[in-house]
């Protein structure tokens, strides 16, 4: 069994960073785990609704079908600062080259306000922590900086930031960016790619959260 050694998605790199054995079970052994529909339904519904809204589609019927909880999430989205900004893209899929590799991913939305660009990421759960998405933060900021620089839309890293918008709590976590972080994130991404290509053992990190991992029952370390 082989792994694509030229293209790396956010999910692949993030999963390997979290646990190499989890990465192996998912992408090499291709262990398939069925998750409860209810676990992702609300998040998917809100992401779709926001996407259609930002693309100026008719969402009247979608609004009528919202559950009580989804109505709260929608209200908090409409109450967020980004709704006053200029939406550049929604559900934007990107490809960025780094050395001889390609990075691919998708952001929820990109906004512009006063010459500053903001990556928006909607969070619908109640237990969001910036620490839990540190690699996602690195990946999004690095890739979108490369794209916006190539398009001539920004001149420096500080012209870009990332907002995690917690729809369940009506809170926004703002992450800034600068040239030093750009270099740091680039180094981190390349380091993970090299580890994936060179690794032969795929050890398990064995943390307190292992029993919460959807691959826990398939993990040979337990």
pLDDT-derived band at 3 (thresholds 50, 70, 90) equals very low
Q: Bigger pLDDT: 163 or 125? A: 163
pTM score, two decimals?
0.91
> pLDDT of 177-213, one tens digit each?
999 999 999 999 999 999 999 988 899 988 888 988 9
CA gap 73, 42 in Å, rounded: 9
Average pLDDT, the chain: 92
CA gap 143, 50 in Å, rounded: 23
Token pair 């917690």 is at which residue?
Answer: 166
pLDDT-derived band at 33 (thresholds 50, 70, 90) equals confident
Q: What is the pLDDT of residue 1?
A: 38
Indicate the domain borders of the chain.
7-218
Percent of the chain with pLDDT over 90: 81
Residue 88 has which token pair? Answer: 């550049």
Average pLDDT over residues 77-86: 95
Average pLDDT over residues 20-29: 94
Q: What is the pLDDT of residue 2?
A: 43
Average pLDDT over residues 12-39: 87
Residue 128 has which token pair? Answer: 């969001």
Give the CATH architecture of domain 7-218: Alpha-Beta Complex (3.90)
Q: What share of the chain is helix, strand, coil (3-state, %, to 5)?
A: 50, 20, 30
Q: What is the pLDDT of residue 36?
A: 64
Q: What is the pLDDT of residue 38?
A: 58
CA gap 130, 153 in Å, rounded: 27
Q: What is the pLDDT of residue 37?
A: 58
CA gap 115, 133 in Å, rounded: 26
Beta bridge partners of 104: 9, 95
> pLDDT of 95-115, one tens digit each?
999 999 999 999 999 999 999
Minimum mean pLDDT among 73-87, 117-131, 142-156: which range? 117-131
pLDDT-derived band at 132 (thresholds 50, 70, 90) equals confident
- With a CB cutoff of 8 Å and minimum separation 6, the contacts of 194 are none
The helices-and-strands tally (H runs, E runs) of the chain is: 7, 6
Give, for 64, the enclosing helix (H) or strand (E). Answer: helix 60-64
| Closest by Cα among 50, 59, 117, 41 to 78 | 50
Q: What is the pLDDT of residue 157?
A: 97
DSSP strand pairing (101-113 vs 171-175): unpaired
Residue 67 region, left (φ>0) first, then alpha (ψ -120 to 50), else beta? beta
């Amino acid at each position: 069994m082989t792994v694509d050694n030229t293209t790396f998605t956010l999910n692949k790199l993030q999963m390997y960073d979290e646990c190499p054995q989890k990465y192996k079970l998912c992408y090499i052994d291709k262990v398939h785990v069925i998750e409860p529909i209810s676990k992702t339904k609300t998040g998917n519904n809100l992401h779709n609704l926001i996407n259609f809204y930002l693309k100026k589609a008719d969402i009247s019927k979608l609004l009528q079908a919202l559950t009580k909880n989804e109505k709260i999430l929608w209200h908090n989205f409409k109450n967020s600062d980004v709704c006053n900004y200029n939406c550049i893209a929604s559900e934007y899929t990107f490809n960025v080259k780094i050395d001889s590799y390609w990075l691919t991913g998708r952001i929820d939305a990109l906004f512009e306000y006063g010459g500053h660009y903001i990556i928006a990421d909607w969070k619908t759960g109640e237990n969001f922590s910036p620490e839990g998405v540190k690699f996602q933060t690195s990946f999004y900021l690095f890739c979108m900086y490369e794209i916006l620089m190539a398009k001539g839309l920004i001149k420096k890293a500080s012209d870009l930031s990332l907002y995690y918008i917690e729809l369940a709590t009506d809170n926004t976590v703002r992450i800034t960016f600068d040239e030093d972080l750009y270099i740091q994130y680039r180094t981190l991404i390349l380091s993970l790619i090299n580890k994936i290509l060179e690794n032969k053992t795929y050890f398990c990190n064995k943390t307190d959260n292992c029993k919460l991992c959807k691959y826990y029952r398939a993990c040979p370390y337990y």
